[in-house]
């Protein structure tokens, strides 16, 4: 009789912990998803501004200014595509269909991607400065190299700030979530119940 009571109590306790953890993790998933959506709207807005400005500058100016705006336009066709794909994927995400491990794995994967992108952004900026240097060595392609170089420095700098800020926000959300997961025993009329408190 005592063993059955113990097994039943243990089962209820584990179910209570599991249900509470799933609820808290689903909320964390929603917050993470909303942060990513906001980030994609920021990236998409930057891309649209650069596409409009780039198209105008490409048609209006000549010499290095023309190439600066041309590269801004071309670069932001990629940014807009990334933003649209990111928005689509995040709006399709149903947190209720994911278990806690999948939610945390997706969140951590996004953080890793942002760190890798940050390293690439530094490479874009460096390439921009290199093109600017080579522009002084080439009389024939000097304007193109200088214009493209200036554009890469600008676009790489924006992306570096964007990726690092988004990474910082997501990292803080993850750390806050994990720090606030506490196993607490609370006495109830029916016995002891374990709950995860945030």
Q: What is the pLDDT of residue 24?
A: 81
Of 22-31, 102-111, 189-198, the least confident: 189-198
Whole-number percent of the chain with pLDDT over 90: 73
Residue keyed to tokens 């959300």: 173
Strand partners, 108: none
Q: What is the pLDDT of residue 195?
A: 41
- Which one has a higher pLDDT value, 52 or 4? 52
Per the domain annotation, does 139 fall within a domain?
Answer: yes
Of 23-27, 63-67, 101-105, 154-158, the least confident: 23-27
Residue 192 has pLDDT above 80, yes or no: no
Per the domain annotation, does 12 fall within a domain?
Answer: no
Domain count, the chain: 1
What mean pLDDT is predicted for residues 68-79? 98
Q: What is the pLDDT of residue 5?
A: 55
Per the domain annotation, does 7 fall within a domain?
Answer: no
Under DSSP, the state recorded for 191 is: E
Per the domain annotation, does 120 fall within a domain?
Answer: yes
How far is C-alpha 28 from the chain's CA centre? 15
Residue 73 has pLDDT above 90, yes or no: yes
As a whole number of Å, the end-to-end CA separation of the chain is: 36
How confident is residue 165, by pLDDT bands cut at 50, 70 and 90?
A: very high
- Which one has a higher pLDDT value, 191 or 41? 41
Per the domain annotation, does 25 fall within a domain?
Answer: yes
How does strand 182-188 pair with strand 191-197? antiparallel
Per the domain annotation, does 149 fall within a domain?
Answer: yes
Per the domain annotation, does 1 fall within a domain?
Answer: no
Q: What is the pLDDT of residue 23?
A: 60
Predicted confidence (pLDDT) per residue in 30-51, tens digit: 999 999 999 999 999 999 999 9
Distance between CA atoms of residues 118 and 15, nearest Å = 41
Predicted confidence (pLDDT) per residue in 87-122, tens digit: 999 999 999 999 999 999 999 999 999 999 999 999
Nearest to 44 by CA among 81, 71, 73, 72: 81
Per the domain annotation, does 4 fall within a domain?
Answer: no
Residue 151 sits in which domain range?
Answer: 20-197
Distance between CA atoms of residues 28 and 25, nearest Å = 5
Q: What six digits make up the tokens of 31?
A: 């917050």
Distance between CA atoms of residues 137 and 10, nearest Å = 76
């Amino acid at each position: 009789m005592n063993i059955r009571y113990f097994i039943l109590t243990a089962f209820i306790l584990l179910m209570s912990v599991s249900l509470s953890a799933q609820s808290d993790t689903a909320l964390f998933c929603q917050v993470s998803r909303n942060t990513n959506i906001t980030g994609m709207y920021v990236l998409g807005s930057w891309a649209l501004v650069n596409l409009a400005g780039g198209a105008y500058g490409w048609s209006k100016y000549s010499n290095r200014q023309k190439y600066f705006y041309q590269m801004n336009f071309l670069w932001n066709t990629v940014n807009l595509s990334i933003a649209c794909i990111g928005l689509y994927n995040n709006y399709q995400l149903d947190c209720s269909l994911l278990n806690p491990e999948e939610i945390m794995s997706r969140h951590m994967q996004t953080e890793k991607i942002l760190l890798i992108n940050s390293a690439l952004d530094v490479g874009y900026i460096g390439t921009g400065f290199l093109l600017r240097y080579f522009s002084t060595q080439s009389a024939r392609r000097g304007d193109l190299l200088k214009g493209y170089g200036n554009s890469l420095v600008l676009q790489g700098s924006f992306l570096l700030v964007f990726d690092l800020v988004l990474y910082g926000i997501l990292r803080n959300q993850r750390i806050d979530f994990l720090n606030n997961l506490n196993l607490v025993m609370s006495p109830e009329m029916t016995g002891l119940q374990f709950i995860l408190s945030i």
